[in-house]
Each structure stands twice: as C-alpha cells, then as structure tokens.
C-alpha cells in the first residue's frame, strides 16, 4: 500500500492518446456590461455569429462529460446574461460536473443566486476591479465596492466558497495592499492576483498595462507580507506576467491535453485565445461531437506532442517541461505560431519581449505619444475587425 | 498549518472537508477530489481510504475494514500517514 503518494496531478499524455478534456470552459456569451481594457475575448468578438442554443449547450455538456470532462466553468462575457444559465448549471450538476461560475457579479441578484444554488452550482469566482474606467470608483469604495459587496454577501450567504479574481496591471498594482484588504473584508477563501497577460485587448493596451519591474517586485513583496500576516485565513495566488520570466510557461498544461474551450458560437478551442491562430481550422460543436473534436480534429492535434517544434525548442533539454510555451504568444511576437514562445531567453525573438519590458520601466510622465487605452466595446470591436487592425507585427 | 495540525489518532472520525467533493470518475478509473477550479486524482490506495470516510467511522474501524476487505494486515501506519497528508492538504477534517 502506497497511499502517501496520493496525487498524480495532471500529467501530460503522449501525442497519440490524449487524456480526457478534464476542464470544459463554456463561454456562453461575448455580451458583457463591462469594458475591460485587459479582456481576453477576441478583439473581433462583435462579429461572432449566433450564440449556441440551450439545446446545443445541453448536448455539449453531455458529450463533454462522457468524454471525461469533470470541471465545468461557465464564463463569457458575462454568463449571467444568458437566461438559461440555471438550466445549464442544473444539467451540468446532474451529469456530475463540478460547476464553476465566473462572473463580474453584475446581475447576481438574490433570486438568481437562489435558483443557481437549487440548480447545484458548486462555486462562484467573482472578478473585481473589472476595468480601469472604474478604478476610481473602486479606490474610493463607491459604486464598484457596493456592487461587489452585495455580490459577495449573496455568495457567502448561500454557503459557496468564494474566489476573488483581480486582474493586476500597471494602473492598479500599486494598490495591491488595498485589494488584499478588501478580499479579506469580503470574506474570500481564495484571492487570485492575476497579472494581465498580453492577449487580445490587453495586447492592444500592453504599453499602458505592463507594470515596471519595481512595481512588480514591490507588489510581490507586499503580497508575501500579507500571506505571512493572514496565514490560512485566505489563500493568495500571485501570477507574474510572462514578460518578466526567462522561460515560458507550459501553456494550458499542454496543447489539447486538459483544456477545452467552447466559444459562444460553438467553436472548440484548445485554449481561450487560440482562435487568433488563423492558419488552423478549429471544429464547431454544431458539426462534430466533443469526443471526435478532442480525439480526431486536426486543429486539436496540430500542436500536440513535440514533432511540430522548430529550433531552439527541438533540441532543447527543457522542451518537455514547457512544450515551447504559448503558441499565441509565439504568433503575436514572432509571426509564426510554431516558433518558441519569445518569453524564453533562448528565442531569437526574445528581444521583442525585452523591448516591451524596457518601455515598462519608463515612467508615464516621461513617455511621449502615449496611445490612449482601448476599452473593450462592440463598436470598437467592429471597427478594429473591419480595419483589419487585428494583425500582429 | 497550525491549530488544526494535531495528528489524527485512531479514535478520530474523519470526513471529507467541506468544499471538496469526492467522486468516482469512470473515464479516469479513479477517485478524484474536486474543488473550485481544481482536481486531485487519487491513487488506488488513497481512493480506498477516502471513499470510506463518513465522519462516523473511527480511524481504527476504517483500518479494520480495509484489512478485512483486502485480506491483509499491518495497514495502520500507511493509513495514518495518508490521513496526515490529507489533513495537511485540507482534504479531510478530523
């Protein structure tokens, strides 16, 4: 008996036989009342065709569960904008999923919370400090604070565990102490201080959002002080932005290995930003079952294993550790998704990351020709898509 | 961890902790613990122990049951070691 080595974690599977899609992210809608400058939804989201119907989603849930999915995240956009959310949660619960709702809290009324509890919802992740437009509200504890307070009170009163998620960037990172204190005051069990990563809207706004090294180090030190002070009362995760690393992260725990995202119009993706990889055809759940998508769709096999790798990854002794990093970041910064993620200092394109980091050290007051932040907005989305601005380099 | 970290004795009646859910996953052929946005896949032995925790049964009764089910003896230390880990991870409450 060897019970002590209880966990196997989530191991990577060989290219020929992927493990089950353990994580199903159901992006129910791109509609959202917020306008976050760091949103990871595609920049051209407003051109998305019709949302999946309730019947489509129910089928997707059944197929994914049969394929071995066990965590289900209902996300968006703002998933509360779907009137059938309760019905979908109830079916996911009945199927044996652990159900997570990822929400801004806008629309989380007592009545809907009661219905979601009855439907069997297991957990709510509440995002706060949603947009820089609201930064002042937040910092002055006015509108946003009241909304989050109401939402978190509702979450707590129904007995859900609460994860607070706050996207951290250049404009709010210096207030990380206040953010932690707010999370404690609201009674969160977990706090995710997730530094913005630079995809989609955040990529457009990168220069305005990437913190300086000094900001980052101060925030991390302060977070560690709070961790020590608060002990087990609240678990705080601090996610460093990739740009300050010299080795890339193993993106999505390996391409097509664990994560399956379904977009509002039914496109199946191995990660929530992979739609930007224009050369790859991704399947749609309207035309293919989840089982077939996961096991046979070319889009999902494209970057499985390591046979697609180029140098310096191909001969790198660390290639199994990070699998070459993020394909989207490689595309955005080098123009080729099969290149090494340029976060890696072995990449011949690493200087492009270094240039962005160097610019992040320049104080705002000393910057010339500062581009204004672009807020996520359907009208802007259409303009950007039509102007063909969604190109890289 | 601190106060909760006293070792679990044979008279304790452990249960799966509040925000964790234990279930059998047919596709993985394993017991898993589910929690907000995460999963722990248990190995065979850990699964056999965890599925028997009900907050009523003592650790001693659990050991007796396991030894009888698997027609073996001398599991006490293994079970206590696992429960110590599981308690430290927050998966079980004494």
Q: What is the pLDDT of residues A297-355, one digit of tens each?
A: 999 999 998 999 999 999 999 999 999 999 999 999 999 999 999 999 999 999 999 99
- How far is A73 from chain B, CA to nearest CA, in Å? 8
Question: Does residue A52 surpass a pLDDT of 70?
Answer: yes
pLDDT of residue A26: 98
Buried b (16+ CB within 10 A) or exposed e, A217-247: ebbbebbeebeeebeeebebebeebbbbeee
Residue A94 phi, psi (nearest 5): -60, -35
In this structure, the dihedral spanned by the alpha carbons of residues A312, A315, A316 and A319, taken in order and rounded to 10 degrees, is 100
pLDDT of residue A252: 86
**Are A7 and B42 a contacting pair at CB < 8 A?**
yes
- How far is A84 from chain B, CA to nearest CA, in Å? 22
8-state DSSP, A191: E
pLDDT of residue A370: 84
pLDDT of residue A139: 54
Question: What's the whole-number mean pLDDT along residues A164-171?
Answer: 91
Selected for mutation to probe chain A from B23, B29, B36 (highest A CB count within 10 Å) is B36
Instruction: Evaluate whether A22 touches A73 at the Cβ level (below 8 Å).
Output: no
Question: Does residue A219 surpass a pLDDT of 60?
Answer: yes
pLDDT of residue A39: 87
Question: Does residue B5 surpass a pLDDT of 70?
Answer: no
Return d(Cα A388, Cα A56) in angstroms, integer: 31
Region for A90 from its dihedrals, namely left if φ exceeds 0, alpha if ψ lies in -120 to 50, beta otherwise: alpha
List the structure tokens of A309. 């790798």
**Are A123 and B37 a contacting pair at CB < 8 A?**
yes
Chain B positions with Cβ closer than 8 Å to A: 1-2, 19, 21, 23, 25, 27-28, 32, 34-43, 45-46, 49, 75, 78-79, 81-82, 85-86
Residue A20 in contact with partner chain B when CB distance is under 8 A = yes
Question: What's the whole-number mean pLDDT along residues A230-236?
Answer: 88
Residue B36: list chain A partners with CB under 8 A.
Answer: 100, 122-123, 125, 161, 163, 189-190
Question: Does residue B54 surpass a pLDDT of 90?
Answer: yes
Residue-wise pLDDT tens digits, A92-114: 999 999 999 999 898 899 999 99
Nearest to A6 among B23, B35, B46 (CB): B46
Mean pLDDT of chain A: 88
Question: Does residue A375 surpass a pLDDT of 90?
Answer: no
Q: Residue A8: pLDDT band by 50, 70, 90 thresholds?
A: very low
Between residues A136 and A54, the one the model is more confident about: A54
Return d(Cα B38, Cα A72) in angstroms, integer: 10
Return d(Cα A294, Cα B60) in angstroms, integer: 45
**Are A6 and B85 a contacting pair at CB < 8 A?**
yes
A8-A12-A15 Cα angle (round to 5): 145
Question: What's the whole-number mean pLDDT along residues A286-293?
Answer: 96
Place of tokens 């599925």: B51
pLDDT of residue A372: 85
Q: What's the pTM value of the predicted model, to 2 decimals?
A: 0.90
pLDDT of residue A393: 39
Its ipTM equals: 0.87
């Amino acid at each position: 008996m060897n019970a002590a080595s209880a966990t196997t974690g989530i191991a990577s599977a060989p290219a020929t036989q992927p493990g089950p899609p353990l994580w199903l992210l159901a992006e129910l809608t791109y509609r959202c009342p917020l306008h976050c400058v760091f949103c990871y939804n595609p920049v051209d989201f407003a051109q998305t065709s019709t949302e999946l119907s309730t019947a489509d989603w129910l089928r997707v849930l059944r197929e994914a569960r049969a394929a071995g999915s066990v965590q289900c995240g209902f996300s968006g956009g703002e998933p509360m904008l779907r009137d059938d959310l309760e019905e979908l949660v109830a079916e996911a619960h009945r199927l044996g999923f652990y159900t997570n709702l990822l929400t801004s809290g806008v629309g989380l009324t007592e009545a809907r919370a009661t219905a979601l509890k009855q439907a069997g919802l297991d957990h709510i992740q509440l995002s706060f400090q949603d947009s820089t437009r609201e930064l002042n509200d937040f910092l002055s504890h006015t509108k946003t604070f009241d909304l989050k307070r109401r939402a978190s009170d509702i979450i707590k009163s129904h007995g859900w565990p609460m994860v607070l998620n706050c996207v951290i960037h250049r404009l709010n990172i210096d207030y990380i102490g206040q953010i932690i204190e707010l999370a404690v005051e609201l009674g969160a069990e977990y706090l995710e201080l997730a530094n913005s990563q630079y995809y989609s809207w955040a990529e457009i706004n990168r220069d305005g959002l990437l913190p300086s090294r000094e900001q980052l180090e101060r925030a991390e030190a302060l977070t560690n002080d709070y961790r020590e002070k608060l002990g087990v009362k609240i678990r705080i995760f601090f996610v460093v932005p990739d740009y300050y690393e010299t080795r890339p992260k193993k993106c999505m725990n390996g391409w097509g290995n664990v994560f399956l995202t379904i977009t509002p119009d039914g496109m199946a993706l191995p990660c929530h930003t992979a739609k930007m990889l224009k050369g790859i055809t991704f399947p749609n759940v309207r035309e293919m079952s989840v089982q077939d998508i996961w096991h046979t769709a070319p889009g999902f096999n494209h970057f499985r294993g390591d046979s697609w790798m180029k140098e310096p990854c191909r001969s790198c002794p660390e290639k199994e550790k990070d699998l070459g990093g993020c394909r989207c970041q490689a595309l955005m910064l080098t123009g080729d998704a099969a290149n090494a993620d340029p976060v890696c200092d072995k990449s011949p394109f690493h200087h492009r990351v270094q240039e962005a980091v160097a610019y992040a050290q320049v104080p705002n007051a000393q910057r010339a020709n500062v581009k204004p932040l672009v807020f996520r907005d359907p009208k802007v989305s259409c303009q950007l898509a039509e102007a063909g601005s969604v190109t890289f380099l | 961890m601190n106060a909760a970290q006293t070792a679990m004795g044979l008279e304790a009646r452990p249960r799966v902790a509040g925000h964790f859910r234990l279930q059998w996953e047919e596709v993985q052929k394993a017991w898993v613990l589910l929690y907000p946005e995460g999963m722990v896949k248990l190995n065979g032995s850990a699964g056999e122990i965890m599925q028997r925790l009900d907050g009523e049964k003592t650790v001693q009764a659990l050991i007796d049951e396991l030894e009888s089910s698997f027609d073996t003896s001398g599991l006490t230390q293994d079970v206590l070691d696992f429960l110590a880990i599981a308690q430290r991870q927050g998966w079980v409450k004494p």
